[in-house]
Structure 1
Amino acid sequence: MVQEQDWTQVVAAATRAPSIHNTQPWRFVAGPDRLELHLDPDRSLPVLDPTGRQQVISCGIAVEFAVVALAARGLATEVDPVPDPADPGHLATVRITGSVDAPADDRALAAAIERRHTVRAPFEPRTVPDDLVERLQAEAAGYGAWVKPIAGEDEEIATVLLTSRAEEIEQGDPDYLAELERWLRTDPAAVDGVPTDAVPSGDPHERASNWLVRDFVAGQRDPHRFRVAGDPAAPPPEVERPAVVLMGTHGDDRVAWVLAGRAVGRVLLRITAAGLAASPLTQALDWPATRVRMRAQLSLVGHPQMLLRLGYPRQPGEGEPAPPVSGRRPVQDVLSFEPTG
């Protein structure tokens, strides 16, 4: 049996999971031998994520963080991704199945939970090791997911153009910009949303990178023309070329999204433990049209669920502040306990 104070610590680890726009769209219900995860419909993104796919993936990441935290405590688990077909908001149940000796690897992954954070700034010019990418592929397969490195000029160009096109669509949608604005936070003590201090202050289009990060303050900038490759008005600078991997699943329903989230959670902790960081490049996956085009142009067998930019984060120079960390809702706001007696 797991005591309430222990569940509080496990859920605190689970809620360190990243989520789309840091909406933290989860609720947890704990019992003596299980932890239920539910989707919180009050934190939805009806413009960006009308099906809830990205928020369910976010919840799947939180499930994996909980599983890792329990493993580090020496507790074996099994996860039921379809606990109640009549309640689609009940996404998963983590059940305690026994006690084990916590391997050093589980403890290392659990320690990475606190260190992990999204890095949108340029990475160091270091190559991501091939053997690490191979390990990510093997671990994701354990959740029925796949990891595809975006390799070769043709794949890179196709994915970059789709990402840029999706960003252009989003910036032209007033409803999207209004929804994005609602989740921006200027208060560094905010417990949810995206802190403005954590996003690049300059226009991402002027950044020396071949990958366009999401512009969280697009609604506050003057409209500009999206330039295409080869535009003489924009000679190519020396660019950052991080490793980029696409993650996906064979199915595309809520169960697949939960499993995709678990695989993403495992990947994020694995790279954090290895000293790397990641940021999502999900614009092309936000919109059905560009998501379908990505499947076709990359000849994918399955459904793309997450595009991640990987690399070694630059360390702050002397006197520079550490990058801000997005806030988290208090555990008591997201965790309840089954009645006893």
Structure 2
Amino acid sequence: MSTPDPQVIADAVELACRAPSVHNSQPWHWVADDRSLKLFLATHRVPHATDVTGREAVISCGAVLDHLRVAMAAAGWRGSISRLPNPNDPSHLATVEFSPASFVTEADRDRADAILTRRTDRLPFAAPPDWGAFEAVLRTTIDSEQAILHVLPASVRPQLAEASRLTESLRRYDSAYHAELQWWTADYEVSEGVPLSNLVSVAERERLDVARVFPAGEQSDRRPEIQHDQSAIVVLSTWGDTRRDALGCGEVLSEVLLEATLAGLATCTLTHMTELEASREVVRELTGAQDCPQVLIRIGSLPPPAQTPPATPRRPLADVLDVRR
């Protein structure tokens, strides 16, 4: 049986690690051997004051797993994924084995290119054009067995904004949480965390009704022509709330973000409203379903000329990939 060249694996892992993660913590570790590529949760990298149960870190690992699948498909390899293969090691999230693809499509290459152009954009968005058509494409693209897609109607936006404010209010005096936010938004260039250039200023925050409140950025007031955020907001939910559910939700999150990027839309992943049960219950009620909300996504468009934020830093490949031959 043929196996990918080690450099192909290395290049794909490096591209996959452009995946989003909670506070850009990148809580993953890859191990490659002669037969497979294994994904592990790096538990020491979980921001525990924010992500008390580690659920968001597993969602992040699901996103990097799907990004890896996309990157390898563009390189001519199909991945067969075994999820949570070792019951004695819950940090071992997946094992991927590869077989040669018969053909690499333009769609495969475009999706891999979208990994490089995708950004987490925390600024206000204009309304996404032709949302109905995009939603239809999205529903045919994602794996509905891994996560359920709910599109929240504009009529519930006030309740959603109230849930966002409730989350911040409940954490107002949580010193560990705020200390952690400060740490992950350090004002110097590192290989992790959220740079100040990617954060919103106080003025920009006034035009965002649904967002995590990070320390204020240094910019003044970008996109002033957008008076208030007009994004569509979707919720990814799962029927259960296990580690397996979180991993699958992360894979679908990757699918949604890349599909939006291919459509020329901007995205921002939101998890603060599913971290505390009070606000998570509000989100559940707004979806009208009895499932488990895992992550929300703002999806919108940008005014011309496109003003995308800079790419956030990533850890060196040597820190995230071990090769054992």
* Length-normalised TM-score, structure 2: 0.91
Matches within 5 A, 1:104-115: 104-115=106-117
Q: Secondary structure at the match of 1:291?
A: helix
User: 1:144 offset after TM fit, Å?
Assistant: 2.2
Q: Percent identity?
A: 33
For residue 199 of structure 1, what is the aligned residue in structure 2?
199
Matched, 1:158 2:147: no
User: 1:316 offset after TM fit, Å?
Assistant: 5.2
Is contact 1:248–1:306 with CA below 8 Å preserved after alignment? yes
After superposition, the CA RMSD in angstroms is 2.2
Between the aligned partners of 1:165 and 1:72, the Cα distance in structure 2 is: 43
For residue 320 of structure 2, what is the aligned residue in structure 1?
334
For residue 211 of structure 2, what is the aligned residue in structure 1?
213
Compared CA separation, residues 248 and 311, structure 1 to 2 (3 A): same
* Length-normalised TM-score, structure 1: 0.87
Between the aligned partners of 2:304 and 2:43, the Cα distance in structure 1 is: 38
Count of residues in Structure 1 that have an aligned counterpart in Structure 2: 316
User: 1:297 offset after TM fit, Å?
Assistant: 4.4
Compared CA separation, residues 152 and 199, structure 1 to 2 (3 A): closer
Between the aligned partners of 1:243 and 1:308, the Cα distance in structure 2 is: 8
User: 1:288 offset after TM fit, Å?
Assistant: 2.1
For residue 179 of structure 2, what is the aligned residue in structure 1?
178
Is contact 2:237–2:293 with CA below 8 Å preserved after alignment? yes
Compared CA separation, residues 16 and 205, structure 1 to 2 (3 A): closer
- Of 20, 29, 32, which residue of structure 2 is paired with 1:30? 32
Between the aligned partners of 1:170 and 1:292, the Cα distance in structure 2 is: 16
One-letter amino acid of the structure 1 residue matched with residue 37 of structure 2? L
For residue 13 of structure 1, what is the aligned residue in structure 2?
15
Q: Secondary structure at the match of 1:97?
A: strand
- Of 283, 294, 313, which residue of structure 1 is paired with 2:272? 283
For residue 222 of structure 2, what is the aligned residue in structure 1?
none
Q: Secondary structure at the match of 1:38?
A: strand
Unaligned residue ranges in structure 1 (runs of 5+): 221-236
User: 1:219 offset after TM fit, Å?
Assistant: 12
For residue 310 of structure 2, what is the aligned residue in structure 1?
324
Between the aligned partners of 1:174 and 1:302, the Cα distance in structure 2 is: 31
User: 1:152 offset after TM fit, Å?
Assistant: 4.3
For residue 223 of structure 2, what is the aligned residue in structure 1?
none
Q: Secondary structure at the match of 2:23?
A: helix
Q: Which runs of 4+ in 1 moved over 6 A?
A: none
User: 1:178 offset after TM fit, Å?
Assistant: 0.6
One-letter amino acid of the structure 2 residue matched with residue 171 of structure 1? R
One-letter amino acid of the structure 2 residue matched with residue 216 of structure 1? F
Between the aligned partners of 2:265 and 2:161, the Cα distance in structure 1 is: 22
Range 70-79 or range 58-67, more displaced: 70-79
User: 1:322 offset after TM fit, Å?
Assistant: 5.9
Q: Deviations over 1:265-305 (max 9, x none)?
A: 01111111111120023221111222133223432231111
For residue 227 of structure 1, what is the aligned residue in structure 2?
none
Q: Secondary structure at the match of 2:202?
A: coil
Is contact 2:8–2:75 with CA below 8 Å preserved after alignment? no
Q: Secondary structure at the match of 1:309?
A: strand
Matches within 5 A, 1:1-341: 1-153=3-155, 155-187=156-188, 189-202=189-202, 205-207=205-207, 209=208, 211-217=209-215, 238-315=227-304, 323-338=309-324, 340=325
User: 1:158 offset after TM fit, Å?
Assistant: 2.3
Unaligned residue ranges in structure 2 (runs of 5+): 219-225
User: 1:315 offset after TM fit, Å?
Assistant: 4.6
Range 299-308 or range 119-128, more displaced: 119-128
Compared CA separation, residues 152 and 206, structure 1 to 2 (3 A): closer
